[in-house]
Structure 1
């Protein structure tokens, strides 16, 4: 029975308010148990880094996610490895064989010029839903705000469903300082001109997740969420944790 007044959450087949988890080797039995209870809180599942290539029973894992209505995809590092070795046609075949319908195009480890990424996206989007990523995994690499904006806008215009802002699974690069602090000025500048519903902010810890919930609202798209944190995240989104206790009953704080 619902009797509390809580922030309005998107549900069902969400197009925003997404929770994207990172799977870095969750055993099948453990995954089954978690999805049985929490699958309705999860929208996307990234088989993190290049782990899909060496994950036992990867096809069964992909099928399990899809059975629970979750969209699985492989981490961008695997795409970059295939690009580096000139194996993109083979990568397409691999994804089709797995039954994966989403693909991440990134340049977090190697520098792939934007023009070339846009060209790759134009080919992949004919067969897959494309997510792209902006930002480097190198915490020493500084990317100007205008470059962030330009890349995100061009990637969305090229047909990407969403753009991920790099943060790593440690929250120490991309949109974060080395010590894990959010680059808040960068975030504020991005939100001035770009539809936040088309951005997935990598937020690997509850602290990072709370920042974006407070800044944008309960229906912010969040990525690199650990499976064990899914329920805690939903609790935060619903104003049921001390740090978000007084969150307004609005779909989103931004106009």
Structure 2
């Protein structure tokens, strides 16, 4: 069908308007069926938490994502585990062997000082594309707005191609209160200070996704999307859900 006037979506190998899904154990058979139908809606696939380390036939899963033009990478928890155990060289070599070209640098579980993360990014970017995450998985560990903005800017300047706002797969930390409420004042400040096309907002629930679509438009970057809900998200982006009925390509940038 092609007769409605809808927000113009980016397509092909997108640089913004990204949908990043979280894979927490999708079987190869199920994944194959999903990608056959919906791969055009997915840009990035995070093998969530540290599950890549124990995923059976991981190579087959990585190859399948790449076959459909989707960029796979491992969750930041695995990066942090390797950093904590001084195993980052082995970790990076294993990514190369798997054909993974993207690395997440995060500090959601352990405190890796900003200067250390910047140093790591400057080194890792020589061989990989880097995504850096800002924020903690501990809902009681709150950065100030200045710290959020400062970290994002420095991480991008160091060579990160995107910065991710921590939200967990539950949407209860980082840019969210522990009850899932969005920290709207923080979000508005971030998009005023940082190029939001370089921010991937973790938004695991439809309610959270709709907030960002209404605020920033159909082509906002959204992460931690459940793989079973990519069609719902694309429907929301196109203004085909009541809550996003009046969405525009660029969004309204007004308080919601």
**Is the 8 Å Cα contact of residues 139 and 173 (structure 1) preserved in structure 2?**
yes
8 Å contact kept, 1:20–1:224:
yes
Measure the CA separation in 1 of the matches of 2:39 and 2:139.
33
CA shift digits 1:133-167 (9 cap, x unpaired): 00000001111000000000000000101000000
Contact 2:135 2:165 in 1 (8 A): yes
Structure 2 distance, partners of 1:205, 1:134, is 19
Return the TM-score normalized by structure 2. 0.98
Structure 2 CA distance for aligned equivalents of residues 214 and 151 of structure 1: 26
Q: Does 1:139 align with 2:139?
A: yes
1:83 paired to 2:83: yes
Q: Which runs of 5+ in 2 are unaligned?
A: none
**Equivalenced residues, count:** 254
Aligned to 1:33: 33
1:254 shift after superposition: 4.8
What is the CA–CA distance in structure 1 between the aligned matches of 2:178 and 2:244, rounded to whole Å? 26
Match of 1:161 in 2: 161
1:176 matched to 2:168: no
**8 Å CA contact retained: 1:8, 1:251:** no
Give the TM-score of the pair, scaled to structure 1.
Answer: 0.98
Asked if 1:54 corresponds to 2:86, the answer is: no
Other-structure match for 1:188: 188
Does the CA contact (< 8 Å) of 2:38 and 2:230 recur in 1?
yes
Deviation at 1:253, TM superposition (A): 3.6
Instruction: Give the C-alpha shift of residue 252 in structure 1.
Output: 4.1
Cα distance in 2 for partners of 1:65, 1:137 equals: 27
Q: Distance in 1 between matches of 2:44 and 2:3?
A: 30
Alignment partner of 1:218 is 2:218: yes
For 1:126 and 1:76, locate their aligned partners in 2 and report how far apart those are by CA, in whole Å: 19
